[in-house]
């Protein structure tokens, strides 16, 4: 009697869905000259369940340690997913679940991204994003899935006690833009993002 073959497992099923934050560490190929790596490969990441199309690349430079940028997001119809990496220095990168109805609403993941290590954080639509520089002279690059649309940009206060994010700088000592100082907290915030059934989990590292 022949045993039917088991269906082949979907390789993407071993990875988090695209609506969940993900830490990506591209492989580096080193030799006596230094190293080379692909910082983004659409086909490879699509095979791991992250099938997204980027339309714009952004880059920021922060002069001082303790600079905080965030917490930012764009509302529909121009909501953005982001793939963030440090290209100089180190940052603490944060993604906050702001999907209404989510059992992990208001919770966050925080990870250190370094130019030396090449780590990247995927921040899906439905998450507020921000980072704090951990040293002077930091540059951060990120790819986004929709164009910058000023009429849709929004944010939350990075130091909202309801979030309790352990930033590595005291709120009164953080270097902020004027705009970021005016954002409010979760109280009274009406999220435009719907929960899709994927709660935030602490596991971020790509298998």
Contacts of 49 (CB under 8 A, 6+ apart): 12, 13, 15, 16, 17, 18
Q: What is the dihedral of CA 84, 85, 91, 95, to 10 degrees?
A: 20
Can you give the C-alpha Rg of the chain in angstroms?
A: 18
- Told to judge if 195 belongs to the known catalytic residues of this protein, a careful annotator would answer no
Tell me if 104 sits within 8 A of 199, measured CB to CB.
yes
22 token code pair: 């993900």
User: What is the C-alpha end-to-end distance of the chain, expressed in Å?
Assistant: 37
Contacts of 171 (CB under 8 A, 6+ apart): 158, 159
Residue 186: closest CA among 159, 149, 152: 159
Scanning 47-164, the segments in alpha helix (DSSP H) are none
- Told to judge if 72 belongs to the known catalytic residues of this protein, a careful annotator would answer yes
d(CA 74, CA 83): 15
Longest dimension (CA), the chain: 74
Task: Give the active site residue among 72, 127, 129, 183.
Answer: 72
Task: Give the active site residue among 20, 129, 142, 183.
Answer: 142
- Residue positions annotated with a catalytic role: 72, 142
């Amino acid at each position: 009697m022949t045993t039917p073959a088991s269906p082949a497992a979907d390789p993407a099923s071993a990875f988090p869905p695209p609506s969940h934050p993900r830490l990506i560490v591209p492989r580096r190929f080193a030799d006596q000259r230094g190293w080379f790596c692909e910082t983004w490969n659409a086909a490879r990441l699509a095979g791991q369940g992250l099938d997204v199309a980027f339309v714009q690349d952004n880059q920021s430079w922060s002069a001082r340690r303790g600079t905080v940028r965030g917490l930012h997001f764009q509302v529909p119809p121009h909501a953005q997913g982001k793939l963030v990496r440090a290209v100089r220095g180190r940052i603490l990168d944060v993604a906050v679940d702001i999907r209404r109805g989510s059992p992990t609403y208001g919770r966050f993941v925080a990870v250190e991204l370094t130019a030396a290590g090449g780590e990247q954080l995927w921040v899906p639509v439905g998450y507020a994003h921000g980072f704090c520089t951990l040293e002077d002279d930091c540059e951060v690059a990120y790819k986004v899935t929709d164009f910058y649309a000023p009429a849709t940009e929004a944010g939350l206060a990075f130091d909202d006690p309801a979030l309790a994010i352990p930033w590595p700088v005291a709120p009164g000592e953080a270097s902020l833009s004027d705009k970021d100082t005016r954002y409010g907290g979760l109280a009274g915030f009406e999220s435009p993002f719907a929960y899709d059934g994927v709660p935030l989990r602490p596991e971020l590292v790509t298998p």
